[in-house]
Amino acid sequence: MPQAVIAPSILAADFGDLAADAQKVIDLGADTLHVDIMDGHFVPNMSIGAPVVKSLRKHMPKVFLDCHLMVSEPEKWVQDFASAGANMYTFHVEAHANPAALIEKIHAAGMKAGVAVKPGTPVEAVLPFADKADMILIMTVEPGFGGQSFMPSVMPKVKTLREKYPNLDIQVDGGLGLGETIETAATAGANVIVAGTSVFAAPDRKAVISGLRQVVNSKY
């Protein structure tokens, strides 16, 4: 299993002071930033778009920006996000008829490509793309909102992927923090850990980031 990647979700950051709050978690040991994009259509909520990524990029030239597109027309925004400075563009398999072609388009635009699945979508929907994409995201909550409860019921999807692809980056997103949730996700084989509320709301963010990393890295 690849090494841990700890990706705080800026959905839980202070949007009024975003670059500074995001920089803090990087300084405290986070590897990347997870940027949640919601269009109010694929999910029943709206968040931010490419202009915010562009501004963040200006403030943090070197930080890896992992963008999670919860949008109905993911092919529409590839160039905007590439131009804005996104490093990874993760789209939902439920939102596109030809994921392989979209992965190629994302790569051609100079970004890494991720493919996400909602909790109700079987893992078979992403298996054909696991060797083309740079990462598979198994959602551990219904996409659309931060601060929800982790769903252990999706762990068999993580296990199946890890058994078939020992070196794949497998991301989990939603409701993760220290304790039972990270233990369960890491045991199943997840190595890229998104954590919004548990990091940004913690009195000791550094301890949460290093604790998550330690649990993942103890599994291999």
Ligand X SMILES: O=C(CO)[C@H](O)[C@H](O)COP(=O)(O)O
Chain positions contacting ligand X, by CB under 6 A: 9, 11-12, 34, 36, 68, 70, 141, 143-148, 173-176, 194-198
197 binds, among Fe ion, ligand X, none (CB under 5 to 8 A by kind): ligand X
Distance, CA of 209 to CA of 5 (rounded, Å): 10
Given 36, 39, 134, 169, which residue is catalytic?
36
* Whether residue 31 lies in the annotated active site: no
Q: In angstroms, rounded to a whole number, what is the distance separating the alpha carbons of residues 115 and 93?
A: 6
> Residue 125: is it exposed, middle or buried by C-beta count within 10 angstroms (0-12/13-18/19+)?
middle
Which stretches within 64-217 are classed as H helix?
78-84, 99-108, 155-164, 180-188, 197-200, 205-217
Taking CB under 5 A as the rule, does residue 39 contact Fe ion? Answer: no
> What is the number of the residue whose Cβ is closest to Fe ion?
68
Give the DSSP per-residue string, 5-17.
Answer: EEEEBGGGS-GGG
Is 66 labelled as part of a ligand binding site?
no
Angle between helices 205-217 and 18-27 (to 10 degrees): 50
Shortest Cβ distance from residue 65 to Fe ion (Å)?
13
- For residues 36 and 169, which CB has a smaller minimum distance to Fe ion in the complex? 36
Shortest distance (Å) from residue 174 CB to ligand X: 4
Give the three-class secondary structure for 92.
Answer: strand
Q: Exposed (0-12), middle (13-18) or buried (19+): which is 131, by Cβ within 10 Å? A: exposed
Residue 134 sits in the site that holds Fe ion (CB under 5 A): no
Among the listed residues 31, 134, 169, 173, the single catalytic one is 173
SS3 of 28-91: the string is CCCCEEEEEEEECCCCCCECCCHHHHHHHHHHCCCCEEEEEEECCCHHHHHHHHHHHCCCEEEE
Nearer to Fe ion, 134 or 173 (CB): 173
**36 binds Fe ion, rule: CB under 5 A:** yes
Residue 85 assigned ligand-binding role: no
Active site residue 27: no
Binds Fe ion by CB under 5 A, chosen from 33, 173, 191, 200: 173
Q: Which does 188 bind (CB under 5 to 8 A by kind): Fe ion, ligand X, none?
A: none
Q: 68 vs 92, which CB is nearer to Fe ion?
A: 68
- Between the two ends of the chain, the Cα-to-Cα distance in Å is 6
Per the annotation, where are the binding residues? 9, 34, 36, 68, 144-147, 173, 175, 196-197
Can you give the binding site for Fe ion, defined by CB under 5 A? Answer: 36, 68, 173
Point out the residues that are catalytic. Answer: 36, 173
Binding residues for a divalent metal cation: 34, 36, 68, 173
**Per the annotation, where are the binding residues for substrate?**
9, 68, 144-147, 175, 196-197
